[in-house]
Every structure is written in structure tokens, then in C-alpha cells.
């Protein structure tokens, strides 16, 4: 389930302040865009048990007034097209400006829900002057102070109300593994898809209930069935680089939400970028299986250890979660194309596997016996029992006497033991500690 909220508004109204508040301390993806826009940010927010993607559409650095306006129009249009709901932010301290009015005109025409959010309502005076924003004629109006957080709870309640409840039946309707091909423009996503389609008979099916911008293709390769999620149609929409990247990130996040395993493609000749790392860690935080594909390997001059060294450097950049398969491919020369699918299937298998409790305890209690959790405040911390929880992301509960006294280094030790004893390559996992 993927629900995306975009925050739009003129510069300095407090978009990024609200964004940071919605995300609490979670790390955001920052999309460094050159030119007139400042960084766009993407992240995941959670409210009342519902999670959704938040996009701060960014601000603008000083420029001529007309550049400014066309840019803002573009931003609003993309937000309306790509998001499921729009937070339209204004500033109570300044009041309604011409630019606010222009944006309001665009937003009123959209069929998506718009939440007019009057920010900087820090006190009663501001509340009073803020009422002028009712004149803009939006149905949903919220008065908030992003700085102090006041009013943001009601705003989040309203956002959450737009998110459809998860339909448990629907989720199981299509239990085939879903793979998404993601990556920046020009890394070879379409080429890979074409290489796979060209080789085997495929049924392109329009699967009901999928998000409008992703194409689900049903495959039957090596007698294995799976669904490839493609974020096609990207190029047709916009020729401009900034927009292209904006679209591509939103689409990547959307495809990621729908997928079990993400194939993140990089261009070997360009190396990994900060944005790739951000997308990768977002996938990890969303608990998605991951396979990293280094494409255009044909362009790289190779010596004996080139691949090994490349992989080592890559994994340093992907840390801390870097237990992930890395495959060097050339779509052009059709090198290791099918290894990609085999590996994605392996990752899916590891991600969905349930380890029998007896086996888990046999292995993990031995590991715990050979290296105990450190003594805290004079008492020894004892783990008695481990069990895997019935969740989508592999999760393990360790039952112990003092769950709060198990610190990160020991948690990392336990995770590494799980990883080295039971193959979890490309699979993020979660560890919980509970009182026995
Ligand atoms: P953006 O350009 O829309 O992303 O705006 P920023 O989030 O960068 O905020 C612009 C300025 O407004 C910053 O100096 C913020 O500290 C300030 N600001 C944001 N929210 C509030 C608020 O609720 N009250 C007040 N008084 N200032 C705020
Ligand atoms: P997308 O934007 O990620 O879908 O990328 P495309 O599939 O359109 O590929 C972008 C460009 O990279 C095209 O010109 C492809 O021919 C080229 N390309 C794709 N894969 C390879 C490869 O393995 N080697 C080389 N040398 N070029 C490739």
C-alpha cells in the first residue's frame, strides 16, 4: 500500500519544518537538485498505525520572478499528478499573497484532496489573523505551528483519514513474488526489462488494484512465476532533467512500496550516487528485499580483482546494512541477465522463509552461550528463548530477563549470527527483546 502526501507552498512558509516534524527523527532522502530549486526531501511518516510517504517539494533559491513562478507551477502540477493528497502550506504571519492565490487556483482544479495548512500559528493573535485563509474556499483548513507542533496532530489525523484501510483479503489475492526495477534515469531499467521480455514468453496483464503509474508484468521463467513492477512512462512526461529526477524518485518509492524485492540498478561507469544510497536505505527501512545490479559492466576496464574491489567499495557505502547480493551485469551484452531473476527469487525465498523454532533456538542459544551479553549494572543479561514472528519483514523476538539492557553492539552480534547461520542476503530484519 502506497500513499503519498506532497507538501507544497511558496518559499519560507515552513514546509521543511513541517516535513521534519512529520518524520520525527527518521532520516529523509534529500534530492539535490541543481538550478533554481532547493533540495527536495522524501521520507516515511507514521500516524495511528498508518504509514505514508511524505514529499517536501522544496523551495527555491533567489531568481527572477518569472522563473520563480513557472517553477512553482511545475512543482504544484507534479505534486497534484503524483501524490494522493496535497498539503498546501501558507503563512499566517504574512497572510495571503499573490503567489498563494496562484497556487490555490491550480490546486482547486485538482481532484486530489487538498489540505490547506496555515502555518506559524504560534499564538492567539495569529489564529485570529489566520482566519482570512478561509476565504480561499478550501474545505479542509488546518492551523498549525510546525515549530512547536501545535495543531499538527489534527492535520495528521486528517491525512490518515484519507488513507484507505489495508484490505487483508486483497493482499493475499496475488501471492506471487513482486520485483521492482528501480534506479536513476539512464541506468538501463527499460533495457533490462526488454532483455527479459525478449527472451521468454510473457503475459502482460493488467492486474486490478495496482497503482496507476506502475505496470505489473506477469512472468514465467525457469518455471517460476513472478511479477515485475516497472515504472514506465517516465520519459514521455517530461524532458527536463530536474523534473525527470523528481518523477523518477516518486515512481521508485511507489514501485518499492508495491514490491517484495527491489532491484536497484546502478551505472557501473558512474558509480553509486548519494541518491542511490538514500533509495537503498529507504528500501531497507521499508523492509524490502534488495538486489544491487551494477549495469553497463561492459564499459568498465577490468583487471583480476576489479569486480571484487568494486563490490567492496560499494558495500562500504551501503553500510550499515550491506549483506546484499551485488551482481555485475551488462544488459547490452546480455551478461548475467537471468542471474538477476534467480537472485531476486532467492532473496524472496529468504524473506518469506520461516525458520523452525527448534532449529532457531539450537543455533542461536549456542551463539549466545559462546558470547554472552555484557553484564549491566551488576546483573547478567540472560536470553532464554528465540522465536520468529509471523511478519512480512523477518523479525525475531528474544525473550530475556532485562530486555532494555541489551545494547546495539550485542544486537548487531545476534543479527550477524542469524545472517551467517541462515542465509538472509538482501533481506532486512528486525530484532525485538521482550521480558520473559
Ligand atoms: P520552507 O522554505 O517552506 O521549507 O520553509 P522552512 O521550513 O525552511 O521555514 C522558513 C522559516 O520559517 C524558518 O526560519 C522556520 O524556522 C520558520 N518557521 C517554520 N515553522 C514555523 C512556525 O510554526 N512558527 C514560526 N514562528 N516560524 C516557523
Ligand atoms: P532507463 O532510463 O534506466 O530505463 O535506461 P535505458 O534502458 O533507457 O538505458 C539508457 C541508456 O543506456 C541506453 O542508451 C542504453 O542503450 C544504455 N545501456 C543500457 N544497458 C547498457 C549496458 O549494459 N551497457 C552499455 N554500454 N549501455 C547500456
What is the CB < 6 Å shell around ligand 2? 183, 185-191, 295-296, 298-299, 330-332
Global pTM reads: 0.71
Give residue 29's pLDDT. Answer: 57
Position 314 scores a pLDDT of 97
Q: Of 157-161, 250-254, 267-271, where does mean pLDDT reach its minimum?
A: 250-254
37 lines ligand 1 (CB under 6 A): no
Assigned architecture for domain 4-162: 3-Layer(aba) Sandwich (3.40)
Helix (H) or strand (E) holding 152: helix 152-162
67: pLDDT strictly greater than 80: no
**Residue 203 pLDDT grade (very low, low, confident, very high; cuts 50, 70, 90):** very low
Where does CATH 3.40.50.300 sit in the chain?
Answer: 4-162, 169-351
Binding-site sequence positions: 9-16, 56-60, 119-122, 183-190, 230-234, 295-298
352, with CB counted inside 10 A (0-12, 13-18, 19+), is middle
pLDDT of 171 > 70? The answer is: no
Beta strands in 94-175, from DSSP E residues, in sequence order: 114-119, 140-143
For residue 173, the model assigns a pLDDT of: 54
Is 314:272 a contact under the CB 8 Å cutoff?
Answer: yes
Ligand nearest to the CA of 17: 1
Local confidence band at 384 (pLDDT 50, 70, 90 cut-offs) = very high
Q: What is the per-residue pLDDT across 131-140, written as a single tens digit (0 to 9) for each?
A: 999 999 898 9
Average pLDDT over residues 232-239: 44
Confidence check: pLDDT of 211 > 50: no
Per-residue pLDDT, 80: 83
Instruction: Summarize pLDDT for 265-293 with one digit per residue, the tens.
Output: 999 999 998 888 988 998 998 999 999 99
Higher-pLDDT residue of 38 and 324 is 324
pLDDT of 77 higher than 90:
no
The domain 169-351 having CATH identifier 3.40.50.300: the answer here is: yes
Atom of ligand 2 nearest to the CA of 330: 23
Q: Supply the pLDDT for residue 326.
A: 98
Portions of the chain given CATH number 3.30.300.20? 357-435
pLDDT in tens, 37-46: 556 777 888 8
Q: Which CATH number fits domain 357-435: 3.90.550.10, 3.40.50.720, 3.30.499.10, 3.30.300.20?
A: 3.30.300.20
Rounded mean pLDDT, 64-74: 68
Whole-number mean pLDDT of the chain?
84
For helices 274-285 and 306-318, give the axis angle rounded to 10 degrees.
60
Amino acid at each position: 500500500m502506497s500513499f503519498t502526501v506532497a507538501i507544497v507552498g511558496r518559499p519560507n512558509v515552513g514546509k521543511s519544518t513541517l516535513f521534519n516534524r512529520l518524520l520525527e527523527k527518521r532520516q529523509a532522502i534529500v534530492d539535490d537538485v541543481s538550478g533554481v530549486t532547493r533540495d527536495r526531501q522524501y521520507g516515511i511518516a507514521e500516524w495511528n498505525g498508518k504509514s505514508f510517504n511524505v514529499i517536501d517539494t522544496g523551495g527555491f533559491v533567489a531568481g527572477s520572478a518569472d522563473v520563480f513562478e513557472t517553477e512553482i507551477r511545475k512543482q504544484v502540477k507534479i505534486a497534484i499528478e503524483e501524490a494522493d493528497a496535497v498539503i498546501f502550506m501558507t503563512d499566517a504571519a504574512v497572510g495571503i499573497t499573490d503567489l498563494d492565490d496562484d497556487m490555490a487556483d491550480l490546486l482547486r482544479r485538482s481532484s486530489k484532496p487538498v489540505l490547506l495548512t496555515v502555518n506559524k500559528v504560534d499564538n492567539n493573535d495569529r489564529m485570529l489573523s489566520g482566519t482570512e485563509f478561509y476565504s480561499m474556499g478550501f474545505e479542509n483548513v488546518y492551523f498549525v505551528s510546525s515549530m512547536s507542533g501545535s495543531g499538527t496532530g489534527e492535520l495528521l489525523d486528517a491525512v490518515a483519514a484519507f488513507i484507505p484501510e489495508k484490505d487483508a483479503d486483497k493482499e493475499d489475492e496475488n501471492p506471487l513474488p513482486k520485483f521492482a526495477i528501480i534506479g536513476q534515469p539512464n541506468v538501463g531499467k527499460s533495457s533490462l526489462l526488454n532483455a527479459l521480455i525478449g527472451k521468454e514468453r510473457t503475459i502482460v496483464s493488467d492486474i486490478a488494484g495496482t497503482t496507476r503509474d506502475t505496470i505489473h508484468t506477469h512472468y514465467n521463467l525457469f518455471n517460476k512465476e513472478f511479477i515485475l513492477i516497472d515504472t514506465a512512462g517516465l520519459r514521455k512526461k517530461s524532458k527536463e532533467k530536474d523534473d525527470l529526477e523528481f518523477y523518477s524518485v516518486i515512481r521508485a518509492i511507489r514501485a518499492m512500496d508495491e514490491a517484495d524485492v527491489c532491484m536497484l540498478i546502478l551505472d557501473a561507469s558512474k558509480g553509486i550516487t548519494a541518491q542511490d544510497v538514500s533509495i537503498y536505505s529507504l528500501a531497507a527501512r521499508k523492509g524490502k528485499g534488495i538486489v544491487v545490479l551494477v549495469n553497463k559492466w561492459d564499459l568498465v576496464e577490468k583487471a583480476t580483482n576489479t569486480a571484487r574491489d568494486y563490490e567492496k567499495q560499494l558495500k562500504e557505502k551501503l553500510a550499515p546494512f550491506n549483506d546484499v547480493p551485488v551482481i555485475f551485469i551488462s544488459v547490452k551484452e546480455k551478461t548475467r541477465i537471468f542471474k538477476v531473476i534467480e537472485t531476486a527469487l532467492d532473496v524472496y525465498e529468504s524473506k518469506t522463509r520461516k525458520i523452525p523454532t527448534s532449529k532457531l533456538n539450537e543455533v542461536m542459544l549456542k551463539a549466545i552461550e559462546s558470547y554472552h551479553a555484557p553484564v549491566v549494572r551488576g546483573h547478567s543479561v540472560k536470553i532464554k528463548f528465540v522465536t520468529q514472528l509471523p511478519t512480512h519483514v523477518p523479525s525475531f523476538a528474544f525473550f530475556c530477563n532485562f530486555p532494555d539492557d541489551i545494547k546495539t553492539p550485542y544486537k548487531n552480534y545476534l543479527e550477524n549470527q542469524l545472517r551467517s547461520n541462515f542465509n538472509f542476503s538482501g533481506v532486512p530484519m528486525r530484532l525485538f527483546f521482550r521480558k520473559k
